[in-house]
């Protein structure tokens, strides 16, 4: 079993690279994100590997870090999500923000991936929302050292105040994922007993700090 490959970047194509390890070239399929990072390295590269063995082929899938690898394995547990679709999702949604996307039930973001329609996006969210607690990851770019983990994300309907605050921020023009992230951090700061008005105000302050000039 190959766990990791380190070698010279020999060739690249859309969705794959060839890594030369001791004179042997390994064809490795990867997400757009990983591909871009590998191309930036140019010379020696290193990727974590998942190996899929089928009757007619053996495919290697490479990941720039273990977080992306863990998400790949988690995504492929969903019915209808094969390796190709999982890589497509990881190409349009950064692994560090996937937890917030799933928790916020943001089908629109996941549906941006080729091969993922609204029905499959809903299935992905439904099947993964209770599994993301196993991943020790930050929920997104609004994390400023708080270190929120996926097991702290219970979804926007965890209580009515949280749900109403998320809805209010979405109505103000913010994306569902970023609205949920802002409210989740507000709950962290203010506590579970915070009322909806407090969550909206604090969430807006957090969003304004991250994206100056956005609607207030």
Q: Are residues 123 and 73 in the same domain?
A: yes
Q: Are residues 112 and 172 in the same domain?
A: no
44-53 vs 16-21, strand pairing mode: unpaired
Domain edge (last residue) among 17, 32, 64: 64
**What one-character-per-residue DSSP string does 149-163 give?**
-GGG---TTSSHHHH
CATH number, residue 91: 1.10.150.20
Residue, of 89 and 149, whose pLDDT is higher: 89
Domain edge (last residue) among 64, 94, 111: 64
What's the domain range around 160?
154-209
**Which tens digits make up the pLDDT trace of 70-118?**
999 999 999 999 999 999 999 999 888 888 788 778 899 999 999 999 9
**Which tens digits make up the pLDDT trace of 37-69?**
999 877 899 999 999 998 888 999 999 999 999
- Of residues 89, 48, 85, the one with CA closest to residue 69: 48
Q: Are residues 161 and 188 in the same domain?
A: yes
> CA distances (Å), 204 to each of 29, 50, 122, 140, in order?
40, 41, 28, 16
Asked whether 156 and 104 are in contact (CB, 8 A), the reply is: yes
Domain edge (last residue) among 84, 112, 139: 139
CATH number, residue 42: 2.40.50.140
Q: Are residues 75 and 59 in the same domain?
A: no
By CB atoms closer than 10 A (0-12, 13-18, 19+), residue 208 is middle
Dihedral sign for Cα 158, 163, 164, 169, please: positive
Confidence (pLDDT) at 152: 41
Q: Are residues 57 and 75 in the same domain?
A: no
Structural domain contains residue 87: yes
CA-to-CA distance for 59 and 27, rounded, in angstroms?
Answer: 8
- CB neighbour burial string for 75-111, b if at least 16 within 10 angstroms, e if fewer: bbebeebeeebbbbbbbbbbbbbbbbbbbbbbbebbb
Average pLDDT value for the chain: 82
CATH number, residue 174: 1.10.8
pTM flag (> 0.85): no
Provide the 3-class DSSP secondary structure of residue 44: strand
- Of residues 159, 171, 205, 170, the one with CA closest to residue 185: 205
- The total number of structural domains that make up the chain: 3
Confidence (pLDDT) at 161: 82
20 pLDDT more than 70 = yes
Provide the 3-class DSSP secondary structure of residue 173: coil
Structural domain contains residue 17: yes
Six token digits for residue 129: 């929302």
The helix (H) or strand (E) run that includes residue 24 is: strand 24-29
Q: Are residues 60 and 72 in the same domain?
A: no
């Amino acid at each position: 079993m190959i766990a990791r490959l380190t070698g010279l970047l020999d060739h690249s194509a859309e969705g794959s690279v060839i890594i030369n390890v001791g004179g042997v070239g390994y064809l490795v399929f990867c997400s757009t994100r990983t591909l871009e990072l590998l191309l930036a390295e140019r010379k020696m590269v290193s990727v974590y590997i998942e190996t899929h063995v089928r009757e007619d082929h053996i495919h290697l899938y490479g990941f720039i870090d273990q977080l992306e690898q863990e998400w790949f394995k988690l995504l492929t547990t969903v019915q209808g999500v094969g390796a190709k679709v999982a890589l497509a999702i990881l190409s349009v949604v950064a692994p560090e923000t996937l937890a917030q996307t799933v928790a916020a039930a943001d089908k629109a973001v996941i549906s941006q991936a080729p091969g993922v329609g609204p029905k499959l996006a809903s299935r992905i969210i439904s099947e993964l929302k209770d599994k993301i607690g196993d991943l020790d990851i930050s929920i997104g770019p609004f994390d400023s050292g708080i270190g929120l983990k996926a097991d702290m994300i219970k979804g926007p309907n965890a209580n009515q105040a949280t749900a109403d605050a998320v809805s209010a921020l979405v109505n103000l023009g913010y994306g569902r994922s970023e609205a949920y992230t802002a409210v989740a951090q507000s709950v962290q700061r203010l506590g579970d007993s915070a009322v909806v008005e407090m969550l909206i105000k604090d969430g807006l302050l957090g969003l304004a700090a991250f994206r100056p000039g956005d609607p207030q």
